[in-house]
Amino acid sequence: MSYFADKGPLVADIFSRYPASPQGRRSALMPLLREVQDAEGFVSEGRMAEIAALCGTTATEVRSVMSFYSTYHTVPTGQYHLQVCSTLMCALAGSDELWDELVHELDVQPGEVSPDGRFSVQKVECLGSCGTAPMMQINDEGYYENVTRSKCHRLLAELCQGRKPAPDNPVPVTVLDDGRQLLASGERAGAGVGSLTPLTGGNA
Ligand code: FES
């Protein structure tokens, strides 16, 4: 059954954010993917074809866009989708060992869901939290930082009880009115917009 057949107003709203041109229609691909994934947990071949038809493109192009972003899934994921950053800083800080621990403890491989439907795992590229390596993200909702072996075990123990521990930093990050980030610890990070130097005009 078509996902978008009874969602005309939603589709119209998404398309209204982009220019009324073939390129504009293709730009709606990402929010349409997000819509399906939020509702169904992954984007099946059938949904890719449906989105492709809406955007005036091909299912192959939709799949190719999806393959660029680890946030989109082509197969079902578990209730807790554990994503371990495997890029350099995290690798140097022990993400390989963290990954081995996870797949060993959960007995699950990428693309699989544990028999109880609770867990799936994925290696991802840098999630921009290199200073707190090794880190992992659970679902799309939060970052768990400096994940040592013992912290990994604590997290898994909570998740096995059906409780999702509070992340060290939520996603998306809270950005304050002055442009600085509010960390979960309550600290403010980054430079405020007040400290930015305005660009000046001229030809130099
Ligand atoms: S290298 Fe892991 S968050 Fe950047």
Q: How far is the CA of 157 from the centre of ligand 1 (A)?
A: 24
- pLDDT band, very low/low/confident/very high, at 203 (cuts 50, 70, 90): low
Q: How far is the CA of 59 from the centre of ligand 1 (A)?
A: 31
Q: What CA–CA distance (Å, rounded) separates 113 from 129?
A: 26
How many Cβ atoms are within 10 Å of 30's Cβ, its own excluded? 17
- Residue range 83-120, pLDDT digits in tens: 999 999 999 999 999 999 999 999 999 999 999 999 99
The atom of ligand 1 lying closest to the CA of 95 is: 2
Q: Is the pLDDT of residue 175 over 90?
A: no
The pLDDT value recorded for residue 202 is 55
Q: Is the CA virtual torsion 60, 122, 167, 183 positive or negative?
A: negative
How many Cβ atoms are within 10 Å of 45's Cβ, its own excluded? 11
Domains of the chain by residue range: 8-68, 80-170
Which strands, in side-by-side order, build the sheet including 181-182? 174-175, 181-182, 188-189
- Residue range 133-167, pLDDT digits in tens: 999 999 988 899 999 999 999 999 999 999 999 99
Its CATH class, for the domain covering 8-68, is: mainly alpha
Q: What is the pTM of this model?
A: 0.83
Its CATH class, for the domain covering 80-170, is: alpha beta
Q: How far is the CA of 138 from the centre of ligand 1 (A)?
A: 15
Pocket test for ligand 1, best of 122, 135, 169 (most atoms within 8 A of CB): 135
